[in-house]
Structure 1
Amino acid sequence: MRRSGLRRHLLRTLFVAVAGLLACAGAAPASAAVTPKVVVIGVPGLTWADVQASPELTALIGKADVGSITVKTAGPHTCPVDGWLTLSAGTRAWASDPDRPCELPQVTDGKIPGWQSYVDLQSERHTDALLGRLADEESRVCGFGPGAALAVAKKDGSVANWFPTFDPAKVVGSDCAHAIVDAGAMPPREGRKEARQKVAGLVEQAMATDSRVLLVGVGQELANAHQQLLVAMRFPTDDGGRWLTSDSTRRPKLIQLTDVTATVLPAVSLDGSPVRVDGDRHGDAAAVIEERLDTNQRFEQPRPMLVAVSMTILVLELLAVAWFWLRRTPRSRTAATFALLTQAGFFIAVFLSTITLWWRWPAPGFSLYCVVLGISALIAGLAQVVLKRYAFLGIALVAYVILLIDGVLGTPLQFGSMFTDGPVIGGRFYGFGNSTFATLAVAALVVAGWAAQRLVDKSRMQAALAVLAIGGAAIVVDGRPGWGTDFGGIIALTPAVLLLAWLTWRGSISFRALVGVGAAGVLAVTGVAYLDYLRPASERSHFGTFFARLLDGDAADVLIRKLQMAMQFFYGVAGWAMLAGVVVAMLATVLPGRVPFPAYRAFYSSLPMIRPALLALSTCGLVGMLLNDAGVALPAIMTGFAVPLLVAHLLASPVTVSPESHLVQESHRVD
């Protein structure tokens, strides 16, 4: 009995196990069969204003996860051809040079005419774009329309599985794993209404194929079109309409063009990341459209208003300084000091302005102009009245604290401010940009120098530790992935902080120690990059990605491209003017005796920590200029923040000159 019972138990167990294996084996094909295809409908120039003007597109919002897409590619303009080739490569491509027309080539005898010229252009521009990668990774991707032919072309320019117009029946079949559809560029004026209706109809046809449909802008309709964030929608929704995002932008409601290719090829390592949803369900269609239009205002206005605000402050500053230079009265001195502090306050106002939500005000551009000027003047006035000759320190300390907090919180104040290359430009979606870093670097070194001055008479070791603590906090926040995520920034700031700490501790530095400081900085940066490299590829920041390129021997194009970006400032007079100003400022920190202003010469030698702090600022600017893609712009921005602080302090601390000795003595000591 026991043996027969055991035998029955074993047979039952074997039967259950075999049945389970058969069920698992049968489940795999079934799961693969119901996995939806991705149908990408690309529409160059499709804006949220088009959605607002179209009842058909507005009606689609309730069926979609929504957001905006930045279509920045490698070149200065994103013509449709640039966008479609970017989808082909999964990396930003370059196709529309001034001497190259924006029109799409037509498929001829199963090939793209002039394909090799596009391939050669990627090499010339060092874009890293491997045209034809989409078709190479997925040979059964189908294309419909002239633009889609570029997207699905193979590496040799040949086109398979391509059709002139969209045919939903072909998507339903097994020949198409995914589909790319060119809905045509939006006409600038006449025919736009009909084009919107056509797009809505294509979406409905694509949804009928039981596919995952992604409607996106893929470029601007014309080479010189006004750039803005374009429409992104994904159909159908899984659990009600939500907001689109991706790991490449790390911003809710925002994706970029390379994310589209990554969505079609989720298993392939690309520059973009698959599109996903995030956050709460979105509201009604009208609220969604209004919010997206407001967002466009937020990202379009800062760049032109930056020039307007900067020029206004500069003109007022020059007038106030000229008044003081000619009159030398207490009132003119106060006015000149206020104007200089206003320029310094501007480096805080650009971030605090985002708290006001100015893009939702009437006349957003003018509102931003007034808000930034107002906050700059308010900061200057408060610092001048409350802190008097310590106004420079108060502004530097406020900038330091605000940027540390902003970095830890994920840079909400920087994103969309005047100091970020916003989504339209596509320079940086998260972390600290070059202008933000320049502000933080000046603030950190000034605050660290002042703290060291307070401690240096008591203990040089304690003063040096204070420098390392204050400067180290800035380095950590600036460089930590997910916070500042600024690879170039820590390369420049780390040696500057180490140099300031060494000079604080020892008072001078030998050549051997200088080499050691530089080596320590390199090791620190390399260590951060290596630790980031150890993370999964999808979670790496710029640090780990660049380290991986170095290991693969694939970093040359990146370095050349960054060098080209740094050199582009010298194509005009402005770049050379910035360089001249930066060189003069740096020389003043190492050759104070040559500066023709007695007040500065006296200030330079009045306290032990002034010289180390100024040398650290010059070191940070010099390293940043040589190793950062911002080139001369980085130390120029630092100079624009540091010099007004310094001159304002000198004006707030009157000096007397002895005619016999030509020596300058401060009327009161600056601690």
Structure 2
Amino acid sequence: MIHLYALAATITVALATIVGLLWGRRALTRIAASAAGLMILGLMTAYLLPSGTVEAGSVTTDSQKLLSRDRPVVLIGTSGLRWQDVDPETTPHLWEMLDAGAGAAGATPTTAGSNSLCASAGWLGLSSGQTVLTGSTVGSGADKEYRCADWAVEPADGTAEDADEHGTTGASGPAEVVGWSFLQSLQQRSVFRPQLGTLGDAFADSEKCATAIGPGAALVLADTSGTVSRYLTIEQALRDPVAAFSCPLTVVDAGSAPHDMPDQDDPASSVTPPGPAADNERASDVRAVDDMVSRISAAAPESAQVLSVDVGGPAPGRSSLGVAVSAPEPGEAGQYLSTPGTRWVGVFRVLDLPITLTSAAGIPAPAEFTGSPLTQSGARTADTAESVAELVSLTERDHTLRPLTGVVTTSVLFLALGAFAMITVGLPRLRQRGRVVLARRASRATAGILTVAASVPAALFLMTTWSWWNPAATELPMWTALVGSTALVACTAALAPRNRVWAAPAIIAGITFVLLTVDAVLGTPLHRGSPLGAAPTLGGRYYGFGNPTYSVYAAAALVFAACLATLVKRRFGRVWAIIATVSVGAVTLLIDLLPQFGADVGGGLVLVPTFAVLVMGVAGARVTWQRFAVVGGSGVLLVVLIGFLDWLGPAEQRSHLGAFFQSVLDGTAMQTVLRKGGYAARSLWTDPLSWLTLAILVALGLLLWRGRTFWPRFQAGWLTRTERAWPVLRPLLTSLIVAAVGGALINDYGMRIATFELFAALPLIGLAVIGAARSTPQIKEIPSSRSVPAR
């Protein structure tokens, strides 16, 4: 937890600086400085008393590749085996391996939804190195159902059957995947366009042999024609293990443990996963899989590097991290596994396996492969039960967090809209009717609601410092951590002086900005327990800034820069205000864009013109299309330069920027752009909240543009009043629109980018608006029980 101590210390120091500048009270600054000292003391203690082990889910630091090139590799694949299934009674062999010091990790499956219900799901992902389609939807209406594509493995010319009939051990021979052409045709419907047989072709082209044992393994090592050069059944391989495991790579299908049927209310309930559904029968399947892993491990050569990984599917319902275990090495302590592609201790993608296998064999990785080779990411605890519990917690934490995202963000957005309605409609009417006391109380309540709402984005990340998932990931500690973190930020904002309408927004936006900046520098540890962070069970972005984080970070950075510019301009003049705004913009851009921090290509493209609008507003310069185009072009060149520098590094260590630069070179970039563009377009007509977001942006745009040219009579009292107290408000709102629209156009989240930005920015702007409304002269209430006659 060293990074959390460092994070808390940095945030506290930043708060002391912000509050000291805004208020200037020595006592308050001393209190904040004392708190910072305590946090720094905790940091030093954490360094002086290291535990020697890491926790699953932490940020990876130094690591080394798991597999070496001078030893053969045996990959044992299972299907449907989760860490929740691992215990001494049901999986005694896996438990003994962990006791002996085996490496361990949770493996993110290659597919989700209906595709994960098919037996071919994980195996085809290994074959192509990408997410695949495993079936198709047939029928319509009540008769609509999802059907898995049929396939089978037949030894060519009956060689394997002939060997069995004669009682011999059965030397490996070629085999053919029946139904391969239909499986390939399915992939043409995928936006990823996976090419089945890519891994098999890589080994065939390098003239290095690879043996497939069992039907699933045949799918992995089949070439693009559907042919497997060396194929054996499990029984044949166990009768003559010396011949069976003689190649540099052997892939084994150790069996499946299908999960229970989904509920009837589940959208995928029409799909019937293969295998038994009863709990006791599934426990029997898990034991059978564990026993097969034990037999294969015992038959593998002593020099072999044995890796047992659940490749996923058939698994209806929510995705879970599968069981991944590497055979223990003599004299070595147990390690968690990871990859540079996830940067999570104890987490890697099943799609990291293809490049891991080619790297171990010394074969150049095909361009279609993503991810990085498996690494050892740190010593795990010697207590096997504790290690298993940590890996189980990764799935449970993710399942607990995901439903919170929509609930919180939507609730905050509607609270902010309701507060705006109160400010613009409710409060003026109360004052017009002479209900000044009631208006004052409503104003205070509205300010309190906006303060809490504005504090939620920071709290969604700060809640991770509570480690709320220990000892179990349940909703009560999660909500407690969120409420406590929100209260901490809101109480700090309550210290803001009321005579400056931008003071409270400055504190909250400053906390959010500093929080996410330091989090990115430390490897995004706070994302791992945040509803807005990565979802390891779904296999998307694991590190850096995802789309929700970009939205929150951009909004907080813009508001904080505008507040800081106002403060600096009052004390030091316009030039220093411009420098302050540029500085915040530069930090925001570098943190969001650099591969070692945010690694966000789309955000980097948008932030340059976004901050340019704000800087020109602070400088009092006019925003013209020519200036905007020059600045936007400069942003593109900067992104290209950083992507090129990232691309120069090793392929397995490239971030999203380097990978995209490579896709430009190999001609697949347009496919990525079109795929993301399709996702963005669909967000507009599949999410009703996107319609509301678009309406708000259009209304705000008309309000700002109102026509100083076309509609001079179109006035907004709240905007005029707040702009008078905070002159930089108009360029700030313009830059927020640019960030929202630009992010929606470039990122695959589409209008949801703008929704998340409104979630973060609207309460902050509302605080300034209510501050301006509360500072205007008010009518004294008429001391009479009679209503005031209408004028």
Q: Shorter-chain TM-score: what band?
A: 0.7 to 0.9
Whole-Å separation in 2 of the counterparts to 1:220 and 1:553: 32
Alignment-mate amino acid for residue 85 of structure 1: L
Which stretch shifts more, 124-133 or 572-581?
A: 572-581
> Unaligned stretches of 5+ in structure 2?
1-66, 139-145, 157-174, 260-278, 431-437, 780-791
CA shift digits 1:121-174 (9 cap, x unpaired): 333323142210111112432222332222122102233322343523555326
CA shift digits 1:532-589 (9 cap, x unpaired): 1222222221111111211222212211221122123123433333333333344444
Cα pair 2:80 2:257 within 8 Å, conserved: yes
1:370 is matched with: 480
Greater RCO, 1 or 2 (C-alpha within 8 Å, sep 6+): 2
Alignment-mate amino acid for residue 699 of structure 2: V
Alignment-mate amino acid for residue 74 of structure 2: V
Whole-Å separation in 1 of the counterparts to 2:491 and 2:715: 29
Cα pair 1:104 1:147 within 8 Å, conserved: no
1:394 Cα offset (Å): 0.8
Q: What is the total number of aligned residue pairs between the two structures? A: 627
Counterpart of 1:268 (choices 353, 357, 364) is 364
1:280 is matched with: 379
Q: 1:479 to 1:392 in 2, by over 3 A?
A: same
CA shift digits 1:66-106 (9 cap, x unpaired): 11111143877434422111100122323244444247622
Counterpart of 1:353 (choices 446, 463, 473) is 463
Q: 1:203 to 1:340 in 2, by over 3 A?
A: same
Cα pair 2:505 2:560 within 8 Å, conserved: no
Cα pair 2:496 2:507 within 8 Å, conserved: no
Whole-Å separation in 2 of the counterparts to 1:90 and 1:520: 35
1:657 Cα offset (Å): 8.3
> Unaligned stretches of 5+ in structure 1?
1-31, 660-671
Cα pair 1:87 1:258 within 8 Å, conserved: yes
1:194 is matched with: 284
SS in 2 for 1:329: helix
2:128 is matched with: 89
List aligned pairs for 1:8-407, cutoff 5 A.
35-52=70-87, 54-56=90-92, 57-63=94-100, 64-73=102-111, 77-79=115-117, 80-99=119-138, 100-102=146-148, 105-108=151-154, 110-139=175-204, 140-165=209-234, 167-169=237-239, 172-173=242-243, 176-188=247-259, 189-208=279-298, 209-210=300-301, 211-222=304-315, 224-237=316-329, 239-266=332-359, 267-269=363-365, 270-310=369-409, 313=412, 325=426, 328-361=438-471, 364-388=474-498, 389=501, 390-407=503-520
Whole-Å separation in 1 of the counterparts to 2:371 and 2:714: 51
Whole-Å separation in 2 of the counterparts to 1:33 and 1:626: 44
1:419 Cα offset (Å): 0.7
Alignment-mate amino acid for residue 495 of structure 1: P
Alignment-mate amino acid for residue 649 of structure 1: A
Whole-Å separation in 2 of the counterparts to 1:101 and 1:521: 47
1:655 Cα offset (Å): 5.6
CA shift digits 1:337-374 (9 cap, x unpaired): 22222222110111111111111255612321232133
Q: 1:582 to 1:237 in 2, by over 3 A?
A: farther
Which stretch shifts more, 454-463 or 49-58?
A: 454-463
Which stretch shifts more, 307-316 or 563-572?
A: 307-316
Counterpart of 2:758 (choices 620, 631, 639) is 639
Whole-Å separation in 2 of the counterparts to 1:456 and 1:37: 67
Which stretch shifts more, 116-125 or 541-550?
A: 116-125
1:230 Cα offset (Å): 1.5
1:460 is matched with: 574
Do residues 521 (structure 1) and 635 (structure 2) align? Answer: yes
Q: 1:409 to 1:648 in 2, by over 3 A?
A: same
Whole-Å separation in 1 of the counterparts to 2:349 and 2:69: 28
1:408 Cα offset (Å): 0.6
Which stretch shifts more, 398-407 or 37-46?
A: 37-46
CA shift digits 1:224-251 (9 cap, x unpaired): 3221212110113351221111121122
Whole-Å separation in 1 of the counterparts to 2:307 and 2:560: 50
SS in 2 for 1:159: strand
1:312 Cα offset (Å): 5.3
Pairwise CA RMSD: 2.8
2:697 is matched with: 582
Whole-Å separation in 1 of the counterparts to 2:122 and 2:334: 27
1:502 Cα offset (Å): 2.9
SS in 2 for 1:59: helix
Whole-Å separation in 2 of the counterparts to 1:234 and 1:515: 53
1:417 is matched with: 530
Q: 1:314 to 1:658 in 2, by over 3 A?
A: closer
Whole-Å separation in 1 of the counterparts to 2:252 and 2:531: 36
Cα pair 1:65 1:237 within 8 Å, conserved: no
Cα pair 1:262 1:273 within 8 Å, conserved: yes
Whole-Å separation in 1 of the counterparts to 2:79 and 2:721: 61
SS in 2 for 1:252: coil
Whole-Å separation in 1 of the counterparts to 2:69 and 2:731: 67
Q: 1:615 to 1:33 in 2, by over 3 A?
A: closer
1:322 Cα offset (Å): 7.4
1:449 Cα offset (Å): 1.4
Alignment-mate amino acid for residue 248 of structure 2: A
Whole-Å separation in 1 of the counterparts to 2:231 and 2:582: 61
Do residues 439 (structure 1) and 552 (structure 2) align? Answer: yes
Cα pair 1:453 1:463 within 8 Å, conserved: yes
Cα pair 2:593 2:599 within 8 Å, conserved: yes
1:4 is matched with: none
Cα pair 1:625 1:634 within 8 Å, conserved: yes
1:25 is matched with: none
Which stretch shifts more, 374-383 or 124-133?
A: 374-383
Whole-Å separation in 1 of the counterparts to 2:600 and 2:524: 12
Whole-Å separation in 1 of the counterparts to 2:702 and 2:254: 58
Whole-Å separation in 2 of the counterparts to 1:252 and 1:115: 37
List aligned pairs for 1:524-563, cutoff 5 A.
524-563=638-677
Do residues 512 (structure 1) and 626 (structure 2) align? Answer: yes
CA shift digits 1:23-63 (9 cap, x unpaired): xxxxxxxxx99943222222222111111252513222123
1:658 Cα offset (Å): 11
Cα pair 1:54 1:196 within 8 Å, conserved: yes
Alignment-mate amino acid for residue 634 of structure 2: A
Q: 1:221 to 1:268 in 2, by over 3 A?
A: same
Whole-Å separation in 2 of the counterparts to 1:375 and 1:186: 41
TM-score by length of 1: 0.86
Alignment-mate amino acid for residue 152 of structure 1: L
Cα pair 1:214 1:233 within 8 Å, conserved: yes
Counterpart of 1:630 (choices 716, 739, 749) is 749
Which stretch shifts more, 313-322 or 390-399?
A: 313-322
Cα pair 1:171 1:178 within 8 Å, conserved: no
CA shift digits 1:202-241 (9 cap, x unpaired): 222232312222111211323x322121211011335122
Q: 1:102 to 1:585 in 2, by over 3 A?
A: farther
Cα pair 1:147 1:182 within 8 Å, conserved: yes
Q: 1:158 to 1:315 in 2, by over 3 A?
A: same
Cα pair 1:340 1:647 within 8 Å, conserved: yes
1:617 Cα offset (Å): 1.4
Whole-Å separation in 2 of the counterparts to 1:94 and 1:131: 11
Whole-Å separation in 2 of the counterparts to 1:577 and 1:318: 11
Cα pair 1:74 1:127 within 8 Å, conserved: no
Which stretch shifts more, 200-209 or 639-648?
A: 200-209
Whole-Å separation in 1 of the counterparts to 2:69 and 2:417: 69
SS in 1 for 2:177: coil
1:183 Cα offset (Å): 2.3
